[in-house]
Amino acid sequence: MATQYSDRVIEGMQALYGEGFLSPGGPDEMAVFLDGVDLAGRHVLDMGCGLGGASLMLADEFGAARVTGVDIAADLVERARAAAEARGLSGRIAFRAVGPGPFPFGDAAFDAVFIKDVVCHIEDKHAVFAEAARVLKRGGRLLCADFVAGGTGDGRARLYDDWIAAMKSYGLSFHFGTLGAYTSAYEAAGLIDATVRDHTSLSAAAAEREVAFVTGPDAGPLREALGEDKFQARIEASAMRFKALANGALRHVHMFATRA
């Protein structure tokens, strides 16, 4: 299956978020997200691994013994494999293209499941977390960062809808849910001790810096990489994400739970 990310979008998003990353935050957010999380000696499933940037960090900087990255986009998986080989990490990281639906792994196969800004693209949250729980060992950890829908007052609904429209014009689609939709899906899957760290203010600050960059004097290479139409759509999407985060129409959270 091919990715919804065109070559131009991939190049542009890496210019914004860092090599190997297709979602906001990049390496800087990884440090915040995994602060205090011990992955030493663990086998980690990176769900929706994309270009593999997070998988490389999980193994190289956060001490995971093994990382298995999966994604429905075979073209991204090939790029991720090449990146792991270039870094000399092929012996500890494996990437695999998978179809939608159950993972091709047995029960209790992993010590941790890492999911960063992926579930917002998937409509059935219960199915995602049920499958994550199935492949986790008892006592294994779910590490999930995602954008969730915020409140609807004070014009928030309009800002939220405007951001969705901006992202669609950029070529990306979403199925946002409330935080409550996530926690109920955790509970139904048998994941317990769920905790949430709100990352919205830091995500909004990063989004504001992104707007300053894409509208500033150093954005020429990004404009050239994307082409004029896509570049203008990128400006609109970045601006609307910042407004939605700043207004509370959109939240960004780091969520953790344990397999019962």
Q: Look at the domain 7-146+175-200+251-259 and name its fold.
A: Rossmann fold (3.40.50)
Three-state DSSP state, 219: coil
Q: Which residue has the higher pLDDT, 215 or 4?
A: 215
pLDDT (mean) for 44-71: 97
Residue type, 1: M
Contact criterion met (CB below 8 Å) for 42 and 92: no
Rounded CA Rg of the chain: 18
Strand 43-47 relative to strand 110-116: parallel, antiparallel, unpaired?
parallel
The C-alpha atoms of residue 254 and residue 238 are separated, in whole angstroms, by: 21
pLDDT of 187-204, one tens digit each? 999 999 999 999 999 999
Mean pLDDT of the chain: 91
Name the band, by pLDDT with cuts 50, 70 and 90, for residue 2.
very low
Residue type, 201: S
Tell me which DSSP letter residue 64 carries: B
